[in-house]
Structure 1
Amino acid sequence: MATAPQVITRKVYKPSLNVGQVYARVYNSAGLMLPVGNTLALALQHAEDVQKQPDMTRLGGGTYAEVRRVTDVTIEFALADLNVVNLARATLSTVTESDAGTVTDQPIVLNRGGLIPLPHVLLSSVVITKTAAPGTPVPMAGNYEVRPEGIWIYDDAPGVTDGDVAKLSYSYAGQAVLEALTTKSAELQLRFAGLNEADDGKPVVVDIWRASQGVAKSLGLLTGKFGQLDVAGTLIADQTKTGAGISRFYRTTMV
Structure 2
Amino acid sequence: MPKLYTYNGKGQLYVAIKGSGRFVPLCNIEKLAFTPQMKDEELLNTQTLAGGQLDVVTEVTGVEIAIGGISQYSPDVLSLLLKGASTNVAAGTATETVKIYRNCLAPVSKPIDWSKPVTVKASAGAKGTVKDLTEGTHWMRSGAGIRVLDVAALLDGDPVDIQYTSLAISQTEALTTPNVEVELQFEGLNAADSGNPVIVRAYRCRLGAGGLDLLQSDGFSKSDLSGKLMMDPNRLGVGLSQFFTVMQVQ
TM-score by length of 2: 0.86
Residue 17 of structure 2 corresponds to residue 17 of structure 1: no
Supply the AA of the counterpart residue of 2:97.
P
Supply the AA of the counterpart residue of 1:62.
G
Distance of 2:205 and 2:157 partners within structure 1: 54
Deviation (angstroms), 1:15: 1.4
Which residue in the other structure is 2:177 paired with? 183
Any gaps of 5 or more consecutive residues in structure 1? 1-6
Which residue in the other structure is 1:80 paired with? 71
Count of residue pairs brought into register by the alignment? 239
Which residue in the other structure is 1:3 paired with? none
Deviations 1:164-191 (A, max 9, x none): 4432110111123323222223211111
Supply the AA of the counterpart residue of 1:91.
L
Query: SS in structure 2 opposite 1:123?
Result: coil
CA RMSD of aligned residues (A): 2.4
Which residue in the other structure is 1:202 paired with? 196
Supply the AA of the counterpart residue of 1:148.
G
Find 1:244's aligned residue among 234, 238, 250.
238
Any gaps of 5 or more consecutive residues in structure 2? 125-130
Supply the AA of the counterpart residue of 1:211.
C
Deviation (angstroms), 1:221: 1.8
Deviation (angstroms), 1:192: 0.6
Deviation (angstroms), 1:227: 1.3
Which residue in the other structure is 1:148 paired with? 143
Map 1:24-43 → 2, pairs under 5 A: 24-29=15-20, 31-43=21-33
Q: Is the 8 A contact 1:107 1:166 kept in 2?
A: yes
Which residue in the other structure is 2:99 paired with? 109
Distance 1:215 1:165, change over 3 A: closer
Which residue in the other structure is 2:108 paired with? 118
Identical aligned residues as a percent? 29
Distance of 1:173 and 1:163 partners within structure 2: 27
Distance of 1:158 and 1:176 partners within structure 2: 38
Query: SS in structure 1 opposite 2:11?
Result: strand
Which residue in the other structure is 1:219 paired with? 212
Choose 168-177 or 107-116, whichever is displaced more.
107-116
Deviation (angstroms), 1:109: 3.2
Supply the AA of the counterpart residue of 1:15.
T
Q: Is the 8 A contact 2:97 2:123 kept in 1?
A: no
Distance 1:107 1:56, change over 3 A: closer
Distance 1:57 1:138, change over 3 A: closer
Distance 1:237 1:159, change over 3 A: same
Q: Is the 8 A contact 1:130 1:140 kept in 2?
A: no
Which residue in the other structure is 1:4 paired with? none
Distance of 1:32 and 1:209 partners within structure 2: 14
Distance of 2:247 and 2:112 partners within structure 1: 46
Which residue in the other structure is 1:166 paired with? 160
Deviation (angstroms), 1:139: 5.8
Q: Is the 8 A contact 1:185 1:215 kept in 2?
A: no
Supply the AA of the counterpart residue of 1:33.
F
Distance of 2:83 and 2:139 partners within structure 1: 37
